[in-house]
Amino acid sequence: MDENGLIIFEIGGNDILDAIQKGLKEKNFEGAKNIIDLAISGINISLEKVMSKGACVLYTTVSDIRLLPLIQGGELNEYGEVTEFSSFINKNEKEMEFINCICDYFYNKIMNTIDLLKNKYKDKIEVFDLYKNFGSLVDEYSKLYRKTFNREVNTLNNYGVDKLIYDNKNKIYTNHNTTIKKIENVNLDDFFYIDNVHPTRYVHQFMGIKIFNKICELWLNGKDQIKEELNIIRN
Written in H, E and C, the secondary structure of 158-176 is: ECEEEEEEEECCEEEEEEE
> Between vectors from CA 84 to CA 196 and to CA 201, what angle results, nearest 5°?
15
- Average pLDDT in the chain: 87
Which is more confidently placed, 210 or 85?
A: 210
Mean pLDDT of 57-73: 93
pLDDT tens column, 89-131: 888 998 899 899 989 999 999 999 999 999 999 888 999 999 9
Among 201, 209, 43, 207, CA closest to 110: 43
Cα-atom radius of gyration of the chain, to the nearest Å? 19
Collapsing DSSP states into helix, strand and coil, what is residue 3?
A: coil
